Chain A
Amino acid sequence: MTRKILELSIKSIWNNKLRSILTMLGIIIGVMAVVILVSITQGATEGITSSISDMGSDRIKATLSGSDAALSVETIEQLADYSMIDSVAPVVSISKTVKKGTTTGSYAVYGITPDYFTVQDVEIQRGRRIVDSDIEWTTSVCVIGTDVATDLFGTWDAVGGTITIGERIYKVVGVLEEQGSSLAGVSNSSILIPYSTAARMTGESSVSAFYIKASSDETVDTAINVTEAFLLQATRDEEAFSVSHESSVLETMDEVDNTMSLLLAGIAAISLIVGGIGIMNIMLVSVTERTREIGIRKAVGARRRHIMFQFLCEACVLSVLGGLIGLGLSFAGIQIYNLIAGASAAVDWTAGGAAIAFCAVIGIAFGGYPAAKASRLQPIDALHSL
């Protein structure tokens, strides 16, 4: 009997195609809105999260500010003596113009130690890294990012060439691997020189930031604590430094993500409720139109619950069918978005499933009143209406 009544609902929706589609439109648009938005944001969030994760979960970044807190590279390197810290990479920021012949450019120039490459996990594309002997002999060499190489050398091989930083000429010994977008550290427009050379030639020797690689994922938290304690002792100023970790960035991302999800769920709920009101409206019209049918059914023995079930079924079929159509359209919509934006967003099936389930709830909630109204009609009143 349940199957028969389900068939009946579909038949009745089919018999009123235009009206049914208009009624379902609210639900269709609601489901489309939520599924497309959630899928696209989900894709974007995953992209950002994975680029943050590239930093490595055992990396800690410390930034120093304020001239009072001038700490030397040697001071910072003492941190490597702690067991929970694997290696330390202090960075001295240099503000000098970079020239190659008549071409000038503004690039980030960093004075570094050889550990920088391991801590920051950057590879060399051509040539060599900056090594201990460069530091020892304060050689005038540099390793440059791919953008710097293209800007200053064009199609020529940069390795072996020279560039001018400030007043001094540096020999390019290596070119870095192309870097992805990252929230911290080295980029394609960075220039790395030995910190000892930087100190001698530019007079800048105070560390502006440093990176720490913890000995393992488990020691990250103690490494952070040790670093903070160390910096507090060295600077005696809580405001002069900040220590951050990838997971804290991820936490912030998670929070933003959750807020977004909540916002989307709210919008979705509102639009689906509006859709539900549309369904309730049309079901009430349908009950009035079909009063005679209800009378006939009751005359031949239909009980209240039979009538109730029939109309409830119809409301649910309307809303769930609307939901499924919306899901299908959002699938198409995401394909179109991918084509236009060159993105690779995929349908978020959790959001899709939740939306369909919510549609069923909407159907029952908003079909309930019209169905109850239908079931309460008296058979003779219903039979006599024309």
Chain B
Amino acid sequence: MIRLKHIYKSYMLGDEAVPVLQDINLHVKPKEFVSILGPSGSGKSTLMNIIGCLDVADEGDYILDGESVDTCTEDDLAYIRGEKIGFIFQQFNLLPDLTAYENVEMPLLYHNILPSERHVRVMKTLAQVGLSERIHHKPAQLSGGQQQRVAIARVLAAEPSIILADEPTGNLDSASGREIMDIIKGLWRDGHTIVLITHDIRVADEAQRKVYVRDGRLTEREAGA
């Protein structure tokens, strides 16, 4: 499903190119739950941006669902993001002026989905994360855990095959974090492919398989090995 081959990425810091990712090779199979573990500054967020088509690699091949992403235009990438990938961010990234309902509906507006179908999907996914009672609340009126659940509903409404979660529990207390992890594991059991990025070994342990990023390089080890 996701296949990264010899990925390199560096950022310009003044005149100097600072390498962030070097020779990354990663293969994620459909319906797999992989966690990418690494300390901050290790390049794991850059790796997630590349997997999520928010950014493109300098070198190497990225094949998603059997198709190369390297030659895609900006609008093609936007299409892939909308169709295949759902993001769960540490910062939730909800739009503060919109209600829970509108936040979940928002990605659907970019997909030419009929209004009646939109309504069904929004109500269904908000129910799925247990927020049917809170649909007209704005993010500021919701707790952190509830906000993250709205963000998850937003992902589910677009029906992606891959879910990328970047420190989804990073801004939550342990009880809310537990709830969110349970939801994510539930999604995996429902057949989603999940890539989880974290620096927390206990969170990473929930996955089927762990890979480690350190200083821009990736080492793969089977979970429990």
Contact A300 B158 (CB under 8 A): yes
Give which listed residue, A4, A292, A379, contacts B109 with CB less than 8 A.
A4
Total A-B residue contacts, Cβ distance less than 8 Å = 60
Taking the nearest CB of chain A, how far is it from the CB of B87, in angstroms? Answer: 6
Report whether B109 and A1 are in contact in the complex, using a CB–CB cutoff of 8 Å: yes
In the complex, the answer to whether B154 meets A300 with C-beta atoms within 8 Å is yes
Q: Which residues of A contact B (CB under 8 A)?
A: 1, 4-5, 11-12, 15, 292-293, 295-304, 306, 379-380, 383
Query: How many Å from the CB of A348 to the closest CB on chain B?
Result: 39
Q: Which of B49, B82, B97 contacts A301 (CB 8 A)?
A: B82
What residue of chain A has the Cβ atom nearest to residue B92's Cβ?
A: A296
Name B157's closest neighbour in chain A (CB-CB).
Answer: A300
Q: A15-B97, A304-B75 are in contact. Are A299 and B109 (CB under 8 A)?
A: no
Q: In the complex, which of the residues A4, A292, A306, A380 contacts B55, with contact meaning CB atoms closer than 8 Å?
A: A380
Q: Are A301 and B81 in contact (CB under 8 A)?
A: yes
Of chain B, the residue at the smallest CB distance from A15 is B97
- Produce 1/0 per residue, B92-115, CB < 8 A to A: 011101000000001101111000
Contact A301 B75 (CB under 8 A): no
B65 within 8 A of A: no
| Residues in chain B near residue A1, CB distance under 8 A | 109-110, 112
Q: Are the C-beta atoms of B97 and A11 separated by less than 8 Å?
A: yes
- Residue of B54, B55, B75 with most chain A CB atoms under a 10 A cut-off: B54
Q: Does B18 belong to the interface (CB within 8 Å)?
A: no
A297 x B106 contact (CB < 8 A): yes
A-B CB proximity, top 3 nearest: A301-B82, A300-B107, A303-B78
Closest to A292 in B: B93
Binary contact track B179-209/A, C-beta < 8 Å → 1, others 0: 0000000000000000000000000000000
Q: What residues of A have a CB within 8 angstroms of the CB of B83 in the complex?
A: 301
Question: Which residues in B have some Cβ–Cβ distance to A below 8 Å?
Answer: 49, 52, 54-55, 74-75, 78-79, 81-83, 87, 89, 93-95, 97, 106-107, 109-112, 154, 158
In the complex, what distance in Å separates the CA atom of A298 from the CA atom of B52? Answer: 12
> Among the listed A293, A295, A297, A303, which residue makes an inter-chain contact with B75, where contact means beta carbons less than 8 Å apart?
A303
CB neighbours (8 Å) of A296 from chain B are 93-95
Contact between A383 and B93, CB atoms less than 8 A apart: yes
Given contacts A379-B54, A380-B49, A380-B55, contact A302 B110 (CB under 8 A): yes
Q: Chain A contacts of B79 at CB under 8 A?
A: 301, 303
What is the minimal beta-carbon distance from A173 to any residue of chain B, in angstroms?
A: 85
Instruction: Please give, as numbers and ranges, the residues of chain B lying within 8 Å of A15 by CB-CB distance.
Output: 97
Of B49, B78, B97, which is within 8 A of A302 by CB? B78
Which of A4, A299, A300, A383 lies at the interface centre, i.e. has the most chain B CB atoms within 10 A of its CB?
A300
A293 touches B95 (CB 8 A): yes
Least Cβ–Cβ distance between B197 and chain A, in angstroms: 14
Given A380-B49, A380-B55, are A300 and B97 also a contact pair (CB < 8 Å)? no
User: Across the interface, do A299 and B81 meet the contact criterion of CB distance under 8 Å?
Assistant: yes
A304 near B74: Cβ-Cβ < 8 Å: yes
Chain A, residue nearest B94 (CB): A296
Closest-by-CB residue of B relative to A302 is B110
Tell me the bound Cα distance from A300 to B81 in angstroms: 6
A-B contact pairs, 14 of them (CB 8 A): A15-B97, A293-B95, A295-B93, A296-B95, A298-B78, A299-B87, A300-B82, A300-B106, A300-B158, A302-B82, A303-B110, A304-B78, A306-B110, A379-B54
Q: Which of B78, B83, B93 lies at the interface centre, i.e. has the most chain A CB atoms within 10 A of its CB?
A: B78
When the two chains form the complex, which single residue of A4, A12, A303 contacts B97, counting CB atoms closer than 8 Å? Answer: A12
Contacts of B107 in A (CB 8 A): 300-301
Q: Could you say which residues of chain B place their CB within 8 Å of the CB of A380? A: 49, 54-55
Bound together, the chains give a CA A303 to CA B79 distance in angstroms of: 7
Contact B78 A301 (CB under 8 A): yes
Distance (whole angstroms) from the CB of A304 to the closest CB of chain B: 6
Task: Give complex CA distance A303, B54 in Å.
Answer: 12
Please tell me if the beta carbons of A299 and B54 are within 8 angstroms of each other in the complex.
yes
- B109: chain A residues at CB < 8 Å are 1, 4-5
Using CB atoms, name the residue of chain B closest to A376. B74
Minimum CB–CB distance for B74 against chain A, Å: 7
Name B93's contact: one of A11, A12, A299 (CB within 8 Å): A299
B158 and A301 within 8 A (CB)? yes
Beta-carbon nearest neighbor of B55 in chain A: A380
Most buried by B among A5, A12, A297, A301: A301
Q: State A303–B158 Cα separation when bound (angstroms).
A: 15
In the complex, what residues of A have CB within 8 A of residue B87's CB? 299-300
Which chain B residues border A299 with CB–CB below 8 Å?
52, 54, 81, 87, 93
A residues in contact with B81, CB < 8 Å? 298-301, 379
A338 to B: closest C-beta gap in Å: 43
With A1-B110, A1-B112, A302-B82 known, 14 other A-B pairs at CB within 8 A are: A5-B109, A11-B97, A295-B93, A296-B94, A298-B81, A300-B81, A300-B106, A300-B110, A301-B78, A301-B110, A302-B78, A303-B74, A304-B74, A306-B110
Cβ of A112 to closest chain B Cβ, rounded Å:
81
Bound state CA distance, A322 and B158, in angstroms? 37
- The complex places the Cα of A12 from the Cα of B96 at a distance, in Å, of 12
Given the contacts A379-B54, A380-B54, A301 and B95 also touching, CB distance less than 8 Å: no
A11 surroundings in chain B (CB, below 8 A): 97
**A380 to B51 CA separation, bound complex (whole angstroms):** 13
- A293 vs B91: C-alpha distance when bound (angstroms): 13
A301 touches B54 (CB 8 A): no
Q: How far is the CA of A303 from the CA of B80 in the complex (A)?
A: 11
| Most chain B C-beta atoms within 10 Å of own C-beta, residue among A296, A297, A298 | A296
How long is the Cα–Cα vector from A161 to B206 in the complex, in angstroms? 121
